[in-house]
Amino acid sequence: MTNTIEKVSKEVESFLRGLLDVLEEEEITFAVEGDPMEELYVNLTGNLFSLPEERPILTALEHLVQIAVHRKTGIDCAIILDVNGAVKKRRAELIRFALGAAESVRREHKRIRLNPMPSRERRTIHITLANFPGVKTYSVGEGDERRVVIEPEDA
């Protein structure tokens, strides 16, 4: 897996350097790293007028990067683009929230239905609580209304 991450990292770096050259964005830097969820995390930093922190734009750019990397390497790899660490901050918030909610479910023995959220955020909740004693998680709903349910394990 490490060789795969390194190979994909190099292609991501090459693609982003080319994109930033075309956009004439010299003050933007980026770091590519593998993260614990076996995805490639790319954090763009700097004054990003051409690359706003708006998630739909970054999601589209993620898709373009994934296509370009797949065409060059034949490797399918989840790539997360972040701007100034916003995704990492959100993930940390979700993990703290999930652990608190799970503790509440275990203590009060009551199910909690979370607000609808994107699939990547639901996945973070599921992974965070996968080994949390006394609770289980699953997703319900369709499309934009899909949400995580945390309930006592014996429910």
Query: Quick one: pLDDT at residue 69?
Result: 86
What mean pLDDT value characterizes the chain? Answer: 85
Query: Quick one: pLDDT at residue 48?
Result: 61
Cα distance between residue 8 and residue 21, in whole Å:
20
16-23 own/partner pairs: CB under 8 Å, 24+ apart: 16/42, 16/44, 16/65, 23/50, 23/51
Q: Which residue has the higher pLDDT, 79 or 35?
A: 79
Task: Give the chain's end-to-end CA distance (angstroms, integer).
Answer: 38
Cα radius of gyration rounded to whole Å, the chain? 18
Q: What domains lie within the chain, and their CATH numbers? A: 2-84 (3.30.300.20), 88-152 (3.30.1370.50)
Query: Quick one: pLDDT at residue 36?
Result: 43
Q: Which residue has the higher pLDDT, 48 or 136?
A: 136
Say if strands 135-140 and 112-113 run parallel, antiparallel, or are unpaired.
unpaired
1-38 pLDDT, tens digit each: 567 777 778 888 888 888 878 877 677 778 887 754 46
